[in-house]
Chains A and B, each alone.
Chain A
Amino acid sequence: MRNNKFKKILYFLISWLLTSCYSDVINSFEQFSFQIPFYFYVNYLDKSIPDTSKIFANLTNYSEFEKNRQRIASSEIVQFNYWIDSLVFSNNVAFNPNVDSLIIENVRFVLIFAKPKVGKINPKDSTDFEEDTTLPRFVLGEFHNLDVRDFYRKPHHIKIISNEISQVLTEVVRSRPYFYLESEYGKVLGQTTDKKYFALVNVRFDVVIRFTISAF
C-alpha cells in the first residue's frame, strides 16, 4: 500500500518534471524569426531637384509576406539603405564617379503609412491608397551634403532603425503592410537656378524587415 502511494507520488513528480521541461522547449520553438530584404527600385525620368517624391510599397505583393501573413506575430524594420544606381545629366551624359562631383545639400527619407481609400474593398495598387494621417511619420534616414560619388552603387550608408521606432512599426506593419517612402531632395551645392534637371536617376532602397512567425 505504502509502495503504491510512493509510486504514485514518483509518477506525479516525474510527469510534472517532464511536462514542464518539454513545455519550455516547445515554447521556444513556437516562434521563428528571420530577416527579409525588400528591394525598391525607383526610376525617375527628367527628375528635377529640389523635389519631394513618394513611392508606394505594398508588402502583400511579396509572396513570402503574403503566404505567411496569418502566422506573423511581429514585424519590424531593422535596417535601411539607399544608393544611386544610375544618374544621367540633363545633357544626356552619364555621371562618372571618377570625374564628376555632385553634392546634394540634404536628402531625407521618410516612412509614411498608408491606408486604403474609403470604399475600396480590395485595394491593390497605389491609387487605391492614401496617406494615413492618424499615424506619425518616421524619418528613416537623413543625409547632409550627400556626395553622389559616395552613394553611387555603394551600399555602405546603412541606417539602423531604432528599437523605439521598430516597436511602433511592429503592430502597424502587421495589420496594414502598406506604406510610402518619401524622398526629399534639397538643392545641389552651388545651385543657382530654382531647379536642376537630370535626364535619368535610378535609385535603390533596400529595407530589411524582421518577421517573427508562429510555427503552429
Chain B
Amino acid sequence: MQRFRNILLIFVSITFFQSNLFSKGFVLSKDFTLFTSRNLEGYLKPIFTTLEQSLNNSLFGTSLPDGKFRFTLNLSVCGMIIPDEHKSFDAEVPPGFFDSNAAKVAQYRNGEIYRYVIKPNIQPTIYGGSSTPIFSAPQNHNYPDSTYKTIAYPEGLHIDFMAGLPVLQSIIETPLRNEIRFRIYVEPTGDETFVYFTIGLNQRFDHLFDLFGLDKDKALSFHFALHRMYWGDFFDLTSYALGINAMQRWGNLCGYLGFQFENMNGFFKAIRDTTGFREEIVDSPFPELREARPIIVSLSTFTKFQLKGGFTLSFLFGFLNLELSFATQPMISAGFGLFIGKNRYEK
C-alpha cells in the first residue's frame, strides 16, 4: 500500500505542479493548465483500470474451503500487459477549433499535415507515447476567439507492462465452508487520512446441492468483494466484484477457474486557487481553465469482466499461488500465504 500511495502521490505531483493540500480540499494553482477534467480523466483511466484489476485480484483460489477453521496471511503481486487501446484516448479540443471563422488549425500526424482537427483527437494516456500539438491561428482578436491558441498535451510514460497494487490480506476460513478476506490500510496525511479497506467472501455452495457426491476434492463457490478507498473529500473510490469459481484438488495442488463481473466508480476533485484571478488573466483556449473551474475527474475502469485460472500449491506452513487472468489488461499474478496457528495438516 505504501507503494501505491507513492504512485498516487506521484501522479498528483506530476499533473499538478502547483498544488497544496488543505483541509478545505485539494487546491491547484490557476496557472495549472495542462489538463482539463475530461483530459485528465482520459489520461488516467488506464492506470485506474490497473488499480481496479489489482484490487479485484486474489479473491479466491488460494485454498479449497473444506470447513476447517484457519487463518492465513496472504501476499500477492500482479502485473498487467498494457494493450495498445489503453495507450491513447480521444482528447478534448477547444470549441473554437472546429469553427474556421474563429480559428484556423493544423497538426502534423503520421508524416502529414492536416488543416483541421482530426476526430478522434488521439493523444497518449499515461501509458502511451508522444503527444501531438495542434497549432491554431485565431482569426480575430476579439474574446473569446483570441484565446484559441496553439495547444499541446502531456505525454505518456511508454509503459507496456505495469505492476499492479500488491495485495496483503488476511484470509479466514470458517466451518461454514467459506473464506472471508480483509485488507486495510490507513495513513494520516496532512489534515486528512488515506483509508483503504476490502472485505470479501468466497462461499462454497456445491455441498448444498450435493453436486459432487463423495468427491471431496471438487468445489464450486461464488465470491464477492467490496473495496473502498478515500482520502479527505477529494478522492473517493468504490469497487466491487461478483463471480463464480470452481476448484479441483490433486493432493497438495489445487487448480481453479473463475469468472467475475466487476466495476469501479469514484471521483477526484480539486479546486483552483483563484487568488488574483481578476488581475491575471488565464487565456487558455479551454473555457474550463480560463474560468478556473474546479477539476472533477470521474474514476472508472475499462474492465468489467475477468476470466481467471490458476494453481495453488500447499505446503506445511503455507501456499504458493500462480494465476493468469484474461481481462482488458491481461494479468499475471503470483502470491504466497502463511498459515497462522494451525498448519494445513493439523486437525
Residues of A within 8 A of B (CB): 3, 7, 10, 14, 17-18, 21-22, 24-26, 28-29, 31-37, 39, 63-64, 67-68, 78-79, 81, 83, 85, 153-156, 158, 160, 204, 206, 208, 210, 213, 215-216
B137 and A153 contact, CB distance less than 8 A = yes
Q: Which residues of the partner chain B approach A85 to less than 8 Å between Cβ atoms?
A: 137
Q: How far is the CA of A22 from the CA of B1 in the complex (A)?
A: 12
Are B163 and A22 in contact, with the CB atoms below 8 A?
yes
Q: List 29 A-B contacts (CB under 8 A).
A: A7-B317, A17-B77, A18-B166, A22-B163, A25-B3, A26-B7, A32-B14, A34-B34, A34-B131, A34-B155, A35-B131, A35-B133, A37-B149, A37-B152, A79-B108, A79-B135, A81-B106, A81-B135, A83-B137, A85-B137, A153-B104, A153-B137, A153-B139, A154-B115, A156-B104, A156-B115, A158-B135, A160-B108, A206-B149
A154: which B residues are within 8 A, CB to CB? 104, 106, 115, 137
Alpha-carbon distance A176/B138, docked complex (angstroms) = 31
User: Min CB distance, B285 to chain A, in Å?
Assistant: 11
List A contacts of B34 (CB < 8 A).
34
Does B307 have its Cβ within 8 Å of any Cβ on chain A? no
Instruction: Mark contacts of B13-32 with chain A using CB atoms, 8 A cut-off: 1 yes-contact digit, 0 otherwise.
Output: 11001100000000000010
A155 adjacent to B136 (CB under 8 Å): yes
A140 → chain B, closest Cβ, in Å? 14
Report whether B150 and A155 are in contact in the complex, using a CB–CB cutoff of 8 Å. yes
B104 close to A155 (CB less than 8 A): yes
A24-B163, A154-B106, A155-B137 known, 19 other contacts, Cβ within 8 Å: A25-B163, A26-B3, A29-B11, A33-B154, A33-B155, A34-B34, A35-B155, A63-B31, A68-B17, A153-B137, A154-B115, A155-B104, A155-B150, A156-B113, A156-B135, A160-B108, A206-B149, A208-B133, A213-B14
Interface string of B80-112 (1 = CB under 8 A from A): 000000000000000000000000111110000
Count of interface residues, chain B, beta-carbon cutoff 8 Å: 45
B142 sits at the interface (CB 8 A): no
Tell me, in angstroms, the Cα distance from A31 to B31 when the chains sit together. 21
CA distance A204 to B166 in the complex (A): 51
* B115 contacts across to A, CB distance below 8 A: 154, 156
Given A29-B10, A155-B104, does the pair A210, B31 have CB atoms closer than 8 Å?
no
A39, closest chain B residue (CB): B149
Q: Which residues of A contact B151 (CB under 8 A)?
A: 37
Please tell me if the beta carbons of A28 and B155 are within 8 angstroms of each other in the complex: no
* A21→B77 contact, CB < 8 A: yes
A14 B75 Cβ-Cβ under 8 A: yes
CA distance A31 to B163 in the complex (A): 17
Q: Nearest residue in B to A85 (C-beta to C-beta)? A: B137
Contact call A32/B31, Cβ cutoff below 8 A:
no
CA distance A204 to B138 in the complex (A): 11
Chain A residue contacts of B6, Cβ below 8 A: 26
Contacting residues, chain B, for A63 (C-beta < 8 A): 31
* Residue contact A79 to B163, C-beta cutoff 8 Å: no
What CA separation (Å) do A158 and B118 show in the bound complex?
A: 16
* CB-based nearest A residue for B18: A67
Q: What residues of A have a CB within 8 angstroms of the CB of B7 in the complex?
A: 25-26, 29
Cβ–Cβ contact A25 & B162, under 8 A: yes
* Residue numbers in A under 8 Å from B10 (CB-CB): 29, 215-216
